A and B are shown apart, each in its own frame.
Chain A
Amino acid sequence: MNGFQMLRAATVNEAASLLQEHQDAQLIAGGQTLIPSIKHGLARPAVLVDLARVEGIRGIIVGAKNITLGAMTTHAEVAASADVRRVMPALSALAGNIGDRMVRNMGTIGGAVANNDPAADYPAALLALNATVQTDRRKLSAAAFFVDMFTTALEPGEIVTSITFPLGAFAAYEKFRNPASRYAMVGAFVARDNGEVRVAITGAAGVVFRFTAMEEALRKSFTAQTADSVVLSADGLNGDMHASAAYRAQMVTVMTSRAVTAVGRLQ
């Protein structure tokens, strides 16, 4: 594995100054994507700034109108939280199905969000639930945050500190998992809030996106039958050794329909 120097930060400010001092530095959160990437030579950072001991960016806070997850909160902690299960069961289930139990013990929401893997689960939840990404500099809406494949609106040296999800929506997430990597070949996060319906799709394209034609149809009639009748064009979708673009387009409808059924059961 390529060599690098590891620097530990104790506070967000210290992490920010270390990033400024070392222009070729990269943050490490849980490391479940970054370490394999370094092994494969896909990332070659000279310096890693370790967020593991940074205070105040780990933990779950449930408020009256929202829930905030510190950036260094692991998937296992989110999945095990009785608070998360009570106020947002869809998020709890999503976290409990990321990777496998060992990966969930290390991987973090902040790392997952900042990495913006096109097949990651959390971006779909953030987009469908209108979450806000808090950084050390500003707040960003999920819609503004996820820009493109492995690309976010984060500026150089900017650090994700927490994610806030508004409460109130009925929501469900369904994914078709790659049986080896456990990433979403296609994942659909459906959120229904009063008359509003949002459908976010991950795994199907270069970056998470809202399936607006599906949303419009579901706004008029929120049923699995309606979802089954809305088909996404395969143009521009991912096609690879695991699934063709046409197959993924079909899975978008299937996963959305299952999520709609699951939301229906909640209401």
Chain B
Amino acid sequence: MTSISMTVNGRKVQASVADNKLLVEFLRKDLGLTGTHVGCDTSQCGACTVEVNGSAVKSCTCLAVRADGATITTIEGVAAPDGTLHPMQEAFREHHGLQCGYCTPGMIMSTIDLVKHRPDVSEAEVREAMEGNFCRCTGYQNIVDAVCAAAGKMKGAGK
């Protein structure tokens, strides 16, 4: 067991965790943040994507002990404190960028990271850049529409 502390969605947390505990298990089971999903558990589907120190990562392929000291944002921390949705969340709702919704938290976390790094991302680039997120309902068209719409708004808002 190792003692770790980190900031998750703006809240300081401390815990003692087994060295082999995955970050996703820590977030879901220890912190109760079940918005982060486990899809494939083999680093392919991206449902478990969270932001660690400003970069999107697959939390099923990170160890909780290695996130000691990190600043983490999960899907629960994306909206404003007053409940106003992030432009990416709003765009997914507006464009119906989901079917069953299981992949949606990972889609949103990964595309926020994408647009943050590439504000002028084109539709073709969105399709290419989302290769690490699978939608098993195959609802990609509306997801791509949502990301492109959000990119425009995020750029305007300087987010």
Contacts and interface: CB of A to CB of B under 8 A. Distances in A.
Interface of A is mostly: mixed
Which of B61, B114, B132 is most buried by chain A, counting CB atoms within 10 A of its CB? B61
Contacts of B66: 6, 28, 31, 50, 52
A103 to B, nearest CB: 7
B2 A35 contact: no
B132 A6 contact: no
Contacts of B19: 3-6, 48
Contact of A182 (B56, B57, B117, B131): B131
Contacts of A267: none
A102 B2 contact: no
Given A1-B22, A3-B19, A36-B42, A101 B62 contact: no
Nearest to B48: A102
A52 to B, nearest CB: 6
B56 A105 contact: yes
Interface in A35-77: 35-36, 38-39, 48, 50, 52, 76
B57 A102 contact: yes
Contacts of A182: 131
Nearest to A50: B66
A115 interface: no
Interface residues of A, number: 28
A194 interface: no
A102 B20 contact: no
Contacts of B71: none
B43 A32 contact: yes
B97 interface: no
Contact of B110 (A28, A76, A102): A102
B89 interface: no
Given A6-B63, A32-B43, A35-B63, A103 B58 contact: yes
A102 B46 CA distance: 8
Given A5-B19, A101-B114, 6 more contacts: A3-B18, A3-B20, A28-B66, A101-B110, A106-B57, A106-B62
Interface of B: 2, 18-20, 22, 41-44, 46, 49, 55-58, 61-63, 65-66, 110, 113-114, 117, 129, 131-133
